[in-house]
Chain A
């Protein structure tokens, strides 16, 4: 349903509100960013590094929010909503709805296993950038 309003003024009608209200979306990205920074800090702490060391890395950042829509697929045995991949990000904060479908690769045996939808939870994926930074960091000290 769109929020159309009929305007009496014949000369001008103001913004037509469709969806993705900018204020709401920016508030959301700000909240998720706070969480992401807390998570990166905790990952660093878990490795015995200073938790605030990364802050400068996120100046001029390209962090983004992606809204994903997976329409019903009549060929579920042939296609995927998104194919196997690693995230190139530092961390990905992923929300899954109650339909589910996300699978992750288990490190111990390489098996793809489904992530059971958990209401209100986020799935946190540690991306390539953190892995590369850690390798560089520890190579420097080793």
Chain B
């Protein structure tokens, strides 16, 4: 089984519990266009107040497209690390592949791939308030792998 890198270990109080109770109480909101909009808005308001989150069904994102994206993602993460790292993010461009994500200083057991909804977004180049320089974040796509012989 090997030894776990200490960077991944959660502090005792935040470790996953082996037994969790499955509940069905998280609000599910039907977004069908045929439903009365004011009714949906009332459900959203109540869910935000009581939970801060909710689930949506009939949300309008085509299920075929969701399946396609899921299978594309599976293929990407199934590639060799060397291949995935060709599109890894770096200190200048935060878009692309990354396998060293941390949440509250503990490393997450996951790999991610990020891309912008609007490509080539301009962001301040540092957090310094006086720094007016901008840098550009650019989407990286793995298929842009040009082969010459």
B53 near A125 with CB under 8 A, answer yes
A46 smallest CB distance to B (angstroms)? 3
B83 near A28 with CB under 8 A, answer no
Q: Chain A, 33-76, contact with B by CB distance < 8 Å: what is the 0/1 string?
A: 11100110011011100000000000011111111111101111
| Number of inter-chain CB pairs below 8 Å | 235
Alpha-carbon separation in the docked complex, A118 to B110 (Å)? 22
Partner of B53, one of A11, A18, A79, A124: A124
A46 near B115 with CB under 8 A, answer no
Residue ID in chain A nearest B29 by CB atoms: A124
A25 near B69 with CB under 8 A, answer yes
Alpha-carbon separation in the docked complex, A84 to B143 (Å)? 34
Which residues of the other chain, A, contact B10 by a CB distance below 8 angstroms? 78-80, 83
Which residues of the other chain, B, contact A29 by a CB distance below 8 angstroms? 115, 117
Which residues of the other chain, A, contact B106 by a CB distance below 8 angstroms? 80, 83
B4 near A118 with CB under 8 A, answer no
- Which A residues, 120 to 135, have Cβ-Cβ distances below 8 Å to chain B? 120-126
B residues adjacent to A (C-beta < 8 A) = 1-2, 4, 8-10, 14-18, 20-24, 26, 28, 31, 40-42, 44-45, 48, 50-57, 59-63, 65-66, 68-70, 72-73, 75-77, 79, 83, 95, 101, 103-104, 106-118, 121-123, 137, 139, 141-149
Knowing A18-B79, A43-B48, A75-B8, say if A66 contacts B113 (CB, 8 Å): yes
Which residues of the other chain, A, contact B41 by a CB distance below 8 angstroms? 42, 45-46
Cβ-based interface call for A136 (8 A)? no
A17 smallest CB distance to B (angstroms)? 5
Which residues of the other chain, A, contact B44 by a CB distance below 8 angstroms? 39, 42-43, 46
Partner of B4, one of A13, A32, A45, A75: A75
